[in-house]
Structure 1
Amino acid sequence: MVDRRTFTTLLAGTIAAPTLAFGKTMTSRNVFYSAVGPQLTPYGVDVDKAELTKRDPVSTAANIQYAWPHPSKRWLYVVSSSGGPAAGDATGSVHVANAFTIDPATGALKPHGETVKLATRPIHASVDHSGHFLLIAYNNPSSLTVHRINADGTIGDKVQQPNKLDTGIFAHQIRLAPDNKHVILVTRGNNAPSDNPVDPGSIKVFTFKDGVLANLSAIAPGDGMHFGPRHLDFHPKKPWVFVSIESQNQLMVYKLDDKTGLSRDPLFTKNTLADPNSKLRQAAGAIHVSPDGRFVYVANRAWWTSDFEGKKVFTGGENSLAVFAINQTTGEPTLIQNADGHGNYLRTFNIDPSRKLLVAAPLWSIAVREGNSVTTMPAGLVLYRVGGDGKLTFARKYDIDATEQKQQFWAGMVTLA
């Protein structure tokens, strides 16, 4: 349960929350995008002042699940679905991918090409380093597709896969390794305390050539029943891969391997929580290595509720950003901070290329108990200044309207071309 002092601290960042003014001159080349339901809104980013400036939004045919920029930063690819937790329907009936042009001066978005229909709910998407292929992961059934990207940036035909691919259970992320020769599919499984059914998690590695995949290796410690990987990120210079383990609240470090894609066993395993002995249900989330490779950041999430005077209120737990310093010789991460999230369920966040500013995006607003009354902790965009030591200092929070039915499901930063 959130105590009075903790809640007062959280609320202080929201009572005086600034508004997001339209039309200010952007003083940096960064744009932060926030997706709430089917609407995608760009924000100009002033890194030095830790401020955002709201731009005009665009919309897709269903709730936005994920987005990824083209390497040229000329286009943004967005996958959407009427399925998923916000819809109250795991399956849904509308599943699409869209391309948008990115205005090089403002970051404004404009639809580009035809909407591409997908068979099931997409949960993640990324673009290969050559900019020739869009890769999409689907959680149920767990699967993937590869689409060609046309020379004009529009989404092209799906690449037929001649090989039967091992795509595990509950795919959650698909990424190209730095060599662009391997694709890594993170499959979460279902093995947290309250999951039903219970399924193993795994990291699947495929070879990748001209859009065609072939099975290479699979990593699943033991039987995979105590391994729930969610997302990974790469060190910019070293052969290290950092993986957030959702259901075990862990950070694991693997090594890239030319033959198998990844090392069979992790180099290091660390807990992400300030209190590893907490009995509350927690979940590690999004992960990003800092642009200079010195630090890695992992979101901790808690969102369970209990009854209080006829209302569902937040039960308690850690919503934070775990900050790890990375040993540049060994790759070992050391936990140096658990920064308060100033919101509930930090599903996504991003760091600007200069490593001065981090912006986090709580998923929704949530009711919180304050003594004998109930108030609301709003969703929003939470800005932190990043110190030279990698630690985060809260700068400000912009409240936004996001609810359980209209969630802030994705957010990310793009540096304009």
Structure 2
Amino acid sequence: MDSRHSRSRKAALINRRLVRPRRPSLLRPSRLSSTLRGVERMNRAVSLSRRTFVGLLAAAGLSPRAVAAQNTARAVLYVAVGSELMCYEADDTKLALQKIDTIRVPEAVQYAWKHPSKPLLYVAFSNRYTSKADDRHGVAVYAIDQDTGRLQQFGEPVFLKNRPVNLTLDPAGRYLLVAYNMPSDLTVHALGENGSIGVEIKQSGSIDAGIYAHQVRVSPSGKLVVLPTRGNDPGAGKPEDPGALKVFRFEAGQLSHETSITKGNGLGFGPRHVDFHPEKPWMFVSMERNNQLLVYGTSDEGIDPKPLFERYTAENHEARLPVQFVGPIHVHPNGRFVYLANRSDGTIDFAGRKVHGEGENTVAVFSINPASGEPTLIQTIDTLTFHCRTFSIHPAGRMLVTAAVAPLDVRDGGAVRTVPAGLTVFDVADDGKLNFARKYEVDIGKDWMFWCGMVAL
């Protein structure tokens, strides 16, 4: 992100200052632990045995995870603008968002991840881009109100040595994994039974975190960790930095058997994010510096060294940042489709101002062959904004929302107009294609809309 983004202070349909940000009151971990134990006892009392439930689903040709996702009715969308974390009710029947609360975290939000079984949200924060001091980085935990989605601080924040660009939890909810981009690094932290963050786990071996890690993910089995390291394009007199997918086996908090997946010496290989298929042994990779989608085969031992499939995501796929580059990637909860964001925010001079030049800002939709994992591009649709850094899919799979980082000026005939930052809402049809529903403009002031994510209630 840089100063080329102009800032719009025009009136917006959704103004993040309509609800004054509050600093959440502190919820002691011991109180939440008691509540969680009660919820777990109620769930056990009303549930079928797992064997009976899975048998019924198998007879109907359905997977437990797919059914759980499709039957999740209520969700909220969290949206981060600077250090403000806003909560919206996400109605997937009306395809509408309703803002209900705003809190303030210690510093600008970088990313967030929900605990797999507890109503807790882990939020990475940093002042790297908001202060010359560059000295406050960490993770804060918030308890999620299961009725409203409102957040309440859970324990004290944990401070870290550098900017945490991304984070995740293992499927069992026992470990927090944090990725850092500059310098590139990866750490593992134990979680208490109540979800509180414990000490960093010292690794028995060294870790090669590559150059510019941008994400960390754990495989559905919990046995693999993938760290996409993007590398860097050449520029400002500096040569290109190679990229790679760093893959580790994961057991009891320890990372081991590291392998590096790339092409050749890694030059021209720029992965940003990965996502796993919910049922099949496939991993999908968004290649930021290549405008590509790659698909890899997976197992509990590792990732196949060569991709099964490679597909371009944008029309002008030969262009490079800032004209054209790929962003986040998410597999649909039903496993039949995968979505990526094509981003563009390069500018040209016009009438004494910087306006957007070439490039598309779209969501690319791919269908997934259920037998082979082969992706087929079936649609690209305009987000009506610029630089979609994050997007999220409703747990029920019928709604997708993109979040644009900042406003940008565009040429409009002989004049210049500003396209505000915003949240763009799409309907997800049965065939996976998207239909535009509405756009909510968001006044971001001098900050960036850096992250958004749906959470089921």
TM-score (norm: length of structure 2): 0.82
Correspondent of 1:270 among 311, 329, 333: 311
Tell me the equivalent position of 2:68.
none
Aligned ranges 1:163-312 → 2 under 5 Å: 163-191=205-233, 196-259=238-301, 261-276=302-317, 281-312=323-354
Structure with higher strand content: 1
SS in 2 for 1:185: strand
Shift of residue 73, structure 1, vs aligned partner: 4.2
Tell me the equivalent position of 2:177.
135
Gaps of 5+ in 1: 1-13
Alignment check: 8 A CA contact 1:186 1:231 kept: yes
Shift of residue 317, structure 1, vs aligned partner: 1.0
Change (3 A) 1:385 1:230: same
Alignment check: 8 A CA contact 2:395 2:454 kept: no
Alignment check: 8 A CA contact 1:65 1:80 kept: yes
Letter in 1 for 2:231: G
Check if 1:414 corresponds to 2:448: no
Q: Residues 178-208 of structure 1, C-alpha deviation per residue, up to 9 Å, x if partnerless?
A: 1101111110011367794410000001111
Q: Residues 13-44 of structure 1, C-alpha deviation per residue, up to 9 Å, x if partnerless?
A: x999578998xxxx941010000000101111
Alignment check: 8 A CA contact 2:316 2:324 kept: no
Correspondent of 1:400 among 426, 435, 442: 442
Q: Distance in 2 between matches of 1:275 and 1:171?
A: 26
Change (3 A) 1:226 1:194: farther
Aligned ranges 1:13-412 → 2 under 5 Å: 28-84=73-129, 87=130, 92-191=134-233, 196-259=238-301, 261-276=302-317, 281-402=323-444, 405-412=446-453
Alignment check: 8 A CA contact 2:269 2:289 kept: yes
Letter in 2 for 1:371: G
Change (3 A) 1:167 1:215: farther
Letter in 2 for 1:273: A
Q: Residues 339-369 of structure 1, C-alpha deviation per residue, up to 9 Å, x if partnerless?
A: 1011000110111122210011011111111
Gaps of 5+ in 2: 1-9, 20-71
Letter in 1 for 2:128: G
Q: Distance in 1 between matches of 2:237 and 2:112?
A: 27
Letter in 1 for 2:397: R
Shift of residue 59, structure 1, vs aligned partner: 1.1
SS in 2 for 1:56: strand
SS in 2 for 1:57: strand
Change (3 A) 1:194 1:251: farther
Larger Rg: 1 or 2?
Answer: 2
Q: Residues 87-130 of structure 1, C-alpha deviation per residue, up to 9 Å, x if partnerless?
A: 386x8221111000000101100111111111011100001111
Change (3 A) 1:98 1:16: closer
Alignment check: 8 A CA contact 2:14 2:442 kept: no
Alignment check: 8 A CA contact 1:73 1:415 kept: no
Alignment check: 8 A CA contact 2:15 2:443 kept: no
Q: Distance in 2 between matches of 1:94 and 1:204?
A: 27
Aligned ranges 1:1-20 → 2 under 5 Å: none
Shift of residue 381, structure 1, vs aligned partner: 0.9
**Number of aligned residues:** 394
Q: Residues 189-232 of structure 1, C-alpha deviation per residue, up to 9 Å, x if partnerless?
A: 11367794410000001111111112431101111101000001
Q: Distance in 1 between matches of 2:316 and 2:354?
A: 25
Alignment check: 8 A CA contact 2:13 2:442 kept: no
Q: Distance in 2 between matches of 1:175 and 1:231?
A: 9
Letter in 1 for 2:317: P
Q: Distance in 2 between matches of 1:59 and 1:38?
A: 6
Change (3 A) 1:229 1:111: same
Q: Distance in 2 between matches of 1:324 and 1:93?
A: 41
Q: Distance in 1 between matches of 2:236 and 2:260?
A: 25
Identity %: 46
Alignment check: 8 A CA contact 1:362 1:408 kept: yes
Change (3 A) 1:277 1:205: closer
Change (3 A) 1:159 1:399: same
Q: Distance in 1 between matches of 2:245 and 2:311?
A: 18
Q: Distance in 2 between matches of 1:176 and 1:117?
A: 23
